[in-house]
Amino acid sequence: MSIRVFNTMTGRKEEFQPLEPGRVKMYVCGVTVYDYCHIGHARANIVFDVVYRYLRYRGYEVRYVRNYTDVDDKIIKRANKQGISSHELAERYIRAFDEDMAALGLAEPTDQPRATEHIGDIIALVQRLIDKGTAYEAGGDVYFAVENFPTYLKLSKRSLDEMQAGARIAPGEKKRNPMDFALWKAAKPGEPSWDSPWGQGRPGWHIECSAMSTVLLGESFDIHGGGKDLIFPHHENEIAQSEAASGKPFVKYWLHNGFVNVNQEKMSKSLGNFFTIRDILKKYDPEVVRFFILTAHYRSPIDFSDQNLKEARAGLSRFYEALHAADEALEGCPEAEQSSDEGAKLAETFCQAMDDDFNTAQALGHLFEGARALNRLLGEKKFRKKADKVAAARALRDTLRSLGGVLGLFGSDPGAWLRQRNLAGLSELGLSEEDIQARIEERLQARGDKDFARADQIREELAEKGVELLDTPQGTTWKVR
């Protein structure tokens, strides 16, 4: 089965056929580095990290470019307010971004260019647009003339006439049409600037991505990704600049992820529901956050809440419990001479889901089915004496780990992860490991005294608090439900 992707440009799913067989060129808009990243940034980056991982799993050679916007109005404003240079501020938040993405388990892209490293490429692209008559200089600024690009707004499906009717030219702007946008901005006091044919200045936001993507991937490439909020104006303007300059189609497939709501409301600082990745990781394991993001299809909205994060933690725990049980049950079992097709069946259903526009929610559903099948096998009597069952369990365990890796999941030692999960859960309940161990000892003493009613009472008291006791041949253990 071939991969099908939803192309924002056409508004439908299409069979994925890269421009060059076996090779994929993908560009994803990175962050403007003026502050710490929030949960919306986490979603976009996790989504395209999985696209990157899955394409490689399916055998493609992928060149993945994700940029840093390190010169921009917001950066300059924040730096001036703090009394530091734009470069210093950008460096601070580039480091913070890298730390956050590493914590979330993202694979490093092939290229991570910075806009300031491509000023010469940006100037050359702006000059090319002027030479072609689709851009004009006005008092040191350079603007793109949208009326000279007939297919402007083809991505967002908007009407230029309607948008022009409501647009206004701000005081001090020298553009001819209110919809024209800046390619180059004349220098102002307190701003970083570079020499150009139009005087000292700096690039506009949109031209940066056009220059970086075309220099690294070519004038036409396969996938361009980003959040839905970037469709207009950013991606629309990228298309106009790039295609006006080259005369070629800019991107074959446009992929956009949906928004993150917080407790069913749009996230915003004014509503007080704005959460940085760092805030969230103080409370939740990074893999839980990643798992939560992948429980929804990337194009759908997703609701961020404590309840949904707790449910994600419970769901991820079920996988680690199954893997941990399998590791223990299979330890010492000889490699079976016979093979099992259980793993292949699981991989097939997983790929069917992922081939359908990277449907991670459905793919996780298939992995849950695999974990349940694994638990059933491990629960069979005299499991270790049944060679076919051992082979099937080993195949399911190994395939779960492998396919989880495609999603960036299940990479931790199961025992260590479950212990950390339990400790975090205890902390939320206001309990400590010492508290639980003391109750286990008290229960053990009650059972030794044949006071079974008291022993049962201790179990029930802990259960009411959310702690389940598990009696095993090795002794009593516990877990937070």
Q: From the annotation, which residues make up the binding site for Zn(2+)?
A: 29, 209, 234, 238
Packing angle, helices 205-217 and 119-131, rounded to 10 = 100
CA distance 353 to 364: 9
Annotated binding site for ATP: 269
DSSP states along 331-345: TTPPPPSS--SHHHH
Measuring CA to CA, which residue among 25, 29, 8 is closest to residue 206? 29
Distances from the Cα of 217 to the Cαs of 19, 240, 257, 446, in angstroms? 12, 17, 22, 70
Two structure tokens written together for 291? 């798992």
CA distance 285 to 320: 14
Strands 221-227, 23-28: pairing kind? parallel
Q: Residue 251: helix, strand or coil by DSSP?
A: strand
Distances from the Cα of 31 to the Cαs of 44, 46, 112, 297, 418, in angstroms? 10, 13, 11, 22, 33
| Single-letter amino acid code for the residue at 351 | C
CA distance 406 to 55: 9
67 in Cβ contact with 212 (< 8 Å):
yes
| Single-letter amino acid code for the residue at 139 | G
Measuring CA to CA, which residue among 402, 376, 377, 405 is closest to residue 389? 377
Residue with tokens 């609701």: 303
- Per the DSSP assignment, residues forming a β-bridge with 23 are 20, 61
Two structure tokens written together for 99? 């730390």
Q: Is the C-alpha dihedral spanning 149, 155, 156, 159 positive or negative?
A: positive
Annotated binding site: 29, 209, 234, 238, 269
Alpha helices in 270-413 (DSSP H): 277-281, 286-294, 306-330, 342-355, 360-378, 387-406
List the beta strands (DSSP E) in 200-334: 201-203, 221-227, 251-257, 260-262, 265-266, 302-304
71 in Cβ contact with 90 (< 8 Å):
yes
User: Half-sphere exposure of 401 toward its Cβ, with a 13 Å CA cutoff?
Assistant: 15
Q: Residue 471: helix, strand or coil by DSSP?
A: strand
